[in-house]
Structure 1
């Protein structure tokens, strides 16, 4: 049945195969007559017919499960099921499509990229990793990331910086969501043995289209800090937070993902922290890519002799699932 999915393009081209997924404005389709999957721009599709069961997300944030069938005499318009009712939507108003299967790996996405530099003159070597993982279910989603830089140089102590994140979202009506996440940072420049920030709050997608996702979220965070200097006591604080996130894609082979979060402290007067990250990715054949990443951290009141600002700039080569 899956190999009978039919796609007709706006120029009349017709494809028959198995629809896998549509995300970031690009549909992936497997066919019997090609060793590699076809990738098709979603907005160029005028007719689609499939009896498969899909997880769909619409432009207004509505999430539902349905098959996909274009109305017979109205190309560009699809009938989808919502609570046993038929809803008519435009193809361009569908921003995410995933063939729903029972296996865990069918709903999993992941990428990892690495970089290495070596300079003979001072025996400087640097190894960097930038990675992420995600899982999407009918009403909730999970994501995680891990970034690390390790540098060693002759007659100099090894330096390292590591940040990681794990989080989950539960999707509500009208593009609202509830979120819970944990951020972790180890940073020698700011004398942080480990900073753990657990936060929970409410968010909304302000823009949700086939080219751009833009969301805002806010809530409360609990911050715990342990330091590399043994004389510094552990520090805890309650913070508010406000975050913005943007994901831009379907710009040929270039995509951009960025987020910024501000943490004004509620228990330490005058203290504010910010975390900022930006990833610019260029897609290569066979799911390989080149990525340029920037991560920036600011703390208005760090411990004594620690830097207020720290940042890393990474250029890596990787592969995505």
Structure 2
């Protein structure tokens, strides 16, 4: 049975029709699995061996890239390969399995899907937060004997785009104990990497931190340099960065601030599994030889093991060591510790 639409209802009906049509149009991509199954969806992003897609019936899901035979989409995407090559175009139907075919104004490029480590739409999402990945975590530990209590909290947020990487990270570690002065370790950092050819990048970095154990009430840092991804695949990332930085420190027990120029050398390695439950291992080392304070060398070493418990919820074990060859009179040369925490990824 049909019902007539009045002139007053017509604009509303037309708006609803257009909205529903747009919503349906978003779900026109096709993902075909090696077992023959087909998923009609909107392709969101490939990262760390998993393709994120949005579906009408199952919501947003992740599919292991190694299980996909081919993908098709009328939208423009940019794909990055293990060697750093970036290719953009629409995703054209390809009769061969495990081959990604991109069409850019009639020029087609076929690439081995096993070599593709990242895939992202060129269009911008209407909600900026959807373009970010990250996590938050908290930890608490206490002992009755000496009322030793420690609290930790941390976060990180990452944005990967066609030509840059942006990362923010922060952490706070507080410890209190009977008959011992409370100790605080806090840091915030930002790193921007402008992506170049052949896995090279230029980097800009900044940060601010405090470390009571090392006798640093406040340290601000800003620097720039060059780096390269030595390894990038669906399971691991290894980068090496070097450059110059300037620091300004307020040392415990000293009235005036002290400024220095340093060289920095950094290496980061990350290994991740995409099978459920996910596991991520990360380690990083940064060395800061001073150019203006003869003989002084600082370093930061970190390691973390993160294990997924259920979807988006994880437990993490972290180790850290900070070293300063010439600390303030009230500080130690080393600050190290082990932290356990529970967190959530987004």
Contact 2:323 2:334 in 1 (8 A): yes
Q: CA deviation at 1:117?
A: 1.8
Contact 1:214 1:247 in 2 (8 A): yes
Structure 2 counterparts to residues 281-320 of structure 1, below 5 A: 281-320=306-345
SS in 2 for 1:105: helix
Task: Assess, with a 3 A threshold, how the Cα gap between structure 1 residues 47 and 283 changes in structure 2: closer, same or farther.
Answer: same
Give the structure with higher Rg (CA).
Answer: 2
Query: For residues 226 and 20 of structure 1, what CA distance do their matches in structure 2 show?
Result: 45
Q: CA deviation at 1:3?
A: 1.8
2:4 corresponding residue in structure 1: none
User: 79-88 or 110-119, which moves further after superposition?
Assistant: 79-88
Contact 1:227 1:234 in 2 (8 A): yes
Task: Assess, with a 3 A threshold, how the Cα gap between structure 1 residues 113 and 237 changes in structure 2: closer, same or farther.
Answer: same
2:210 corresponding residue in structure 1: 186
**1:129 equivalent in alignment to 2:153:** yes
Contact 1:63 1:139 in 2 (8 A): no
SS in 2 for 1:106: helix
Structure 2 counterparts to residues 155-166 of structure 1, below 5 A: 155-166=179-190
Q: 1:93 aligns with which of 108, 115, 137?
A: 115
Contact 2:260 2:293 in 1 (8 A): yes
1:58 corresponding residue in structure 2: 81
**1:240 equivalent in alignment to 2:263:** yes
Task: Assess, with a 3 A threshold, how the Cα gap between structure 1 residues 296 and 33 changes in structure 2: closer, same or farther.
Answer: same
Task: Assess, with a 3 A threshold, how the Cα gap between structure 1 residues 70 and 256 changes in structure 2: closer, same or farther.
Answer: farther
Contact 2:263 2:288 in 1 (8 A): yes
1:11 corresponding residue in structure 2: 35
Q: CA deviation at 1:276?
A: 1.5
Structure 2 counterparts to residues 220-239 of structure 1, below 5 A: 220-230=244-254, 233-239=256-262
2:279 corresponding residue in structure 1: 254
1:267 corresponding residue in structure 2: 292
Q: CA deviation at 1:234?
A: 2.5
The structure with the greater share of residues assigned to strand is 1
SS in 2 for 1:75: coil
SS in 1 for 2:98: strand
Contact 2:30 2:73 in 1 (8 A): yes
Query: For residues 255 and 83 of structure 1, what CA distance do their matches in structure 2 show?
Result: 39
1:42 corresponding residue in structure 2: 65
Contact 1:66 1:82 in 2 (8 A): yes
Query: For residues 196 and 106 of structure 2, what CA distance do their matches in structure 1 show?
Result: 19
Number of residue equivalences: 318
| Structure 1: runs of 5+ lacking an equivalent | none
Query: For residues 195 and 84 of structure 1, what CA distance do their matches in structure 2 show?
Result: 54
| Structure-1-length-normalised TM-score | 0.91
User: 193-202 or 49-58, which moves further after superposition?
Assistant: 49-58
Contact 2:305 2:318 in 1 (8 A): yes
| Structure 2: runs of 5+ lacking an equivalent | 1-24
Task: Assess, with a 3 A threshold, how the Cα gap between structure 1 residues 248 and 69 changes in structure 2: closer, same or farther.
Answer: farther
Query: For residues 49 and 179 of structure 1, what CA distance do their matches in structure 2 show?
Result: 35
Query: For residues 169 and 205 of structure 2, what CA distance do their matches in structure 1 show?
Result: 11
Query: For residues 150 and 137 of structure 1, what CA distance do their matches in structure 2 show?
Result: 35
| Structure-2-length-normalised TM-score | 0.85
Query: For residues 316 and 91 of structure 2, what CA distance do their matches in structure 1 show?
Result: 34
Contact 2:92 2:103 in 1 (8 A): no
User: 48-57 or 260-269, which moves further after superposition?
Assistant: 48-57
